[in-house]
Amino acid sequence: MGRVDPHYSNAPIALAGADVTNWALAYGVGVLANLSRNETRGTALALRGEIYGLVSASTEPPNGDHLSDTIAGIGLQYHWGAPVAAPAPVAPPVVGDADGDGVNDNLDKCPGTPAGTAVDANGCELDSDGDGVVDRLDKCPGTPAGAKVDANGCELDSDRDGVVDRIDQCPNTPAGDKVDEVGCSFSLRLEVFFDTDSATIKPESFPDLDRAVSLMQTNARLFGTVEGHTDDRGSAAYNQKLSQRRAESVRQYLVDKGVPADRLEAVGRGESQPVADNATAEGRSQNRRVLLVRTNR
């Protein structure tokens, strides 16, 4: 802070017939520098420095007169006064918990949680097995990581054979088939067509036989017996030989398509194991069949 206070006077003074001129100049400069300040106590310490003086002159004959006077000073200035009151603390805004789950609304990433539901730090319902279905709705807790589940949190069983997709080695098992622990049928009825008194496979049988090939190739644990069956027309001995030839024909087709030969055998059952009444055309049709039966080795 500085201060300059000039005072100037220049006025002629008449003395006994002579012209006399007098003038004077007063000056001052000051500096105030704060060293410390405590608003709470209302005190301050500052360094003060200043220079001030007076210069005057007169033209009074014969020689006139000139006067100069300068004063410099330095010192400390201490100020005290009423303390400045600290601002009153501002109370934080009150944040609610609308769904009552123990997580404030400003942090709750899952508002509207049902009452009484256990939640995590974000206010979201717990999903202990990480399957995407919250514990409150999960009917199959403890699902293995990565398993696909339905809306109830239970693993999918697309072919409804009682073996979940994650371990089912034979998907799309026909409805009602009895299956093993990996979802594979114990027996597979093959739609195989032959001409009368022939063991030559007709072309319309190929799609169903190719399905059996795919099953065997994708499940290296499967071993099977190709069973041939007939109705009761003709002699039992003849039917036995015919069923054997047909079973061997089907086995050879599967082997030719890539199924290892040591995983298959062929057995003719003849007319000994009917599944329907041979007295009707429909019954005899059901009895003329070829089965791929699962065997354990």
CATH 3.30.1330.60 boundaries in the chain: 187-295
The Cα–Cα gap between 176 and 32 comes to 103
For residue 119, give the DSSP letter: B
The residue type found at 280 is T
Under the banding of pLDDT at 50, 70 and 90, the label for residue 8 is very low
Question: What is the torsional sign of CA 120, 122, 128, 132?
Answer: positive
- Residue 14: pLDDT above 70? no
Q: Is residue 212 a contact partner of residue 204, using CB atoms and an 8 Å limit?
A: no
Residue predicted with more confidence, 172 or 259: 259
| pLDDT one-digit tens code per residue, 59-87 | 666 656 666 777 877 877 776 766 666 67
User: What pLDDT is stored for residue 12 in this prediction?
Assistant: 47
Mean pLDDT across the chain: 82
- Residue 55: pLDDT above 70? yes
Q: Is residue 35 a contact partner of residue 46, using CB atoms and an 8 Å limit?
A: yes
- Residue 152: pLDDT above 60? yes
Q: Is residue 204 a contact partner of residue 193, using CB atoms and an 8 Å limit?
A: yes
Task: Produce one character per residue of 182-193: b if its CB has 16 or more CB atoms within 10 Å, e if not.
Answer: ebbbeebbbebe
Q: Percent of the chain beyond pLDDT 70? A: 85
For residue 81, give the DSSP letter: -
Largest CA distance in the chain: 179
Nearest to 122 by CA among 135, 133, 106, 100: 106
Residue predicted with more confidence, 37 or 245: 245
Under the banding of pLDDT at 50, 70 and 90, the label for residue 11 is very low
- Residue 283: pLDDT above 70? yes
The Cα–Cα gap between 201 and 246 comes to 8
The Cα–Cα gap between 215 and 189 comes to 13
- Residue 250: pLDDT above 50? yes
Stretch among 11-20, 33-42, 97-106 having the lowest mean pLDDT = 11-20
How large is the average pLDDT for residues 153-158? 92
Stretch among 18-22, 33-37, 251-255, 287-291 having the lowest mean pLDDT = 18-22
The Cα–Cα gap between 173 and 190 comes to 13
- Residue 19: pLDDT above 80? no
22 phi and psi angles, rounded to 5 deg: -120, 140
- Residue 198: pLDDT above 90? no
- CATH class, range 187-295: alpha beta
How large is the average pLDDT for residues 18-43? 73
238 phi and psi angles, rounded to 5 deg: -65, -45
